[in-house]
Structure 1
């Protein structure tokens, strides 16, 4: 089993934030915060795998009380450079088992992070842990990519996802285990015809939308809505990602 805490080390935490760009761009982060604020409905929110606070800080700024669960000490340390524990408390631990109390109106897990849990069994436990934290009728929101297996050509097991000077992103697939490994290749400009390269790898267990819905049912949730993105675009067979809102039963648990 991959040590996820080791993957999210001090170097990764230091390089994680890209203010104003990528997943920190206003047109990405703004709709995320807006939708989650609506779903929190004035209640307390819990972020699983809170990381460096990309989303939680935005929610706190609009008046939503947020608590986090995070496995990586390095990511928590980076968050603490921005806000202290009185503003956004964090429990260090595994999002499948760690407890941060009960009675939340919203639990959320964004940017494919449930894929960091590398077995189906533990992914189900993630849903069950979310349910333990929620008040009856609360919601669990997951942002997740749709596996792009259609891009695999016969006889190959990988795709080139991104290319720019000094960087390549290659994804490889184990379709039996549903494991996707992203290979991040960083290389220096050529010197005398040679290139020095470094490779980082991040594994994920990808989940089909229908499988995700069954995991939700096992934990007492029903699917309330599914969008292609945080702007509530229609989810279709061509969508590359989805935002799924699951509602917990109002019956006593």
Structure 2
């Protein structure tokens, strides 16, 4: 199921699993499509990634000559970014991405890999929209991907996140509609031992996201059913929403 889950903004588990994030979650096909779409939307830049993490998306964008800035809440993830070729050249702010704690203006701000749902409540999510809007140039874009809640609710059984001769990572999600939250349970079997990781998310339907955007002064420009730009339909399990500052 897409988008791939993100482990970027909560220091506790991000510190424990930063070394494994790329190996488990950086799917080349999804990453390539994400980079292609964002590069086409970036214009002259610069661009801002909220939840930049290990640089899965930011580094390929920078390799295309696009100026990239980042925000992330995990020092462990940022150490992984800085250790990669070109990673030390990306300006990054350690902090809460809902606050968008950066200076300057951007042609594009984005979150990828379901990172927006890591914001804990509606107030934080709405604040993120407002703070992003304040950092966009006129005509600038805010792009995020998110699960379709109905598809999350309909999913049954565990999902294989990653597997190989030496490891298996499974994910099972449990929803609480009364709070619009879900918990992802990751079971990791590797090196003869099994670990259990729990991650909390706050989901919002695309209608609620559109309302947050309008309240922040943004308008929906496009919505796709995947990062490849396929149409968003009743069968879509997630969406990529492109909001524009008029």
Quickly name the TM-score band, shorter chain normalised.
0.7 to 0.9
Q: Could you tell me how far 1:5 is from its partner in structure 2?
A: 1.9
Distance 1:229-1:37 versus aligned 2 partners, 3 A rule: same
Q: Normalising by structure 1, what TM-score?
A: 0.85
- Alpha carbons 2:59, 2:87 under 8 Å: kept: no
1:6: which partner in 2?
A: 12
1:185: which partner in 2?
A: 187
2:103: which partner in 1?
A: 101
Structure 2 unaligned spans of 5+:
1-8
Q: Normalising by structure 2, what TM-score?
A: 0.87
2:158 aligned counterpart, secondary structure: strand
- Alpha carbons 1:188, 1:197 under 8 Å: kept: yes
Q: Could you tell me how far 1:14 is from its partner in structure 2?
A: 0.5
1:177 aligned counterpart, secondary structure: coil
Q: Could you tell me how far 1:73 is from its partner in structure 2?
A: 0.5
Q: Could you tell me how far 1:61 is from its partner in structure 2?
A: 0.5
2:244: which partner in 1?
A: 247
Distance 1:247-1:198 versus aligned 2 partners, 3 A rule: same
Distance 1:117-1:150 versus aligned 2 partners, 3 A rule: closer
Match of 1:151 among 144, 149, 154: 154
Name the CA distance, whole Å, in 2 between partners of 1:86 and 1:167: 30
Q: Could you tell me how far 1:7 is from its partner in structure 2?
A: 2.4
1:121 aligned counterpart, secondary structure: helix
2:228: which partner in 1?
A: 231
1:193: which partner in 2?
A: none
Structure 1 residues 123-202: aligned runs within 5 Å: 123-147=125-149, 148-151=151-154, 159-163=156-160, 166-187=168-189, 197-202=194-199
Distance 1:66-1:160 versus aligned 2 partners, 3 A rule: same
1:156: which partner in 2?
A: none
Aligned residue pairs: how many? 232
Q: Could you tell me how far 1:112 is from its partner in structure 2?
A: 0.6
1:74 aligned counterpart, secondary structure: helix
More helix per residue: 1 or 2?
A: 2
2:89 aligned counterpart, secondary structure: coil
Does 1:207 pair with 2:209? no
Name the CA distance, whole Å, in 2 between partners of 1:86 and 1:17: 17
State the Cα deviation string for residues 146-189 of structure 1 (Å, max 9, x = none). Answer: 1225526xxxxxx4232578543211111110111011123469
Distance 1:228-1:56 versus aligned 2 partners, 3 A rule: same
Distance 1:130-1:149 versus aligned 2 partners, 3 A rule: same
Larger Rg: 1
Q: With CA pairs under 8 Å and 6+ residues apart, which has the higher RCO, 1 or 2? A: 2
Structure 1 unaligned spans of 5+:
153-158, 191-195
- Alpha carbons 1:170, 1:183 under 8 Å: kept: yes
- Alpha carbons 2:35, 2:61 under 8 Å: kept: yes
Does 1:17 pair with 2:22? yes
Name the CA distance, whole Å, in 2 between partners of 1:227 and 1:62: 23
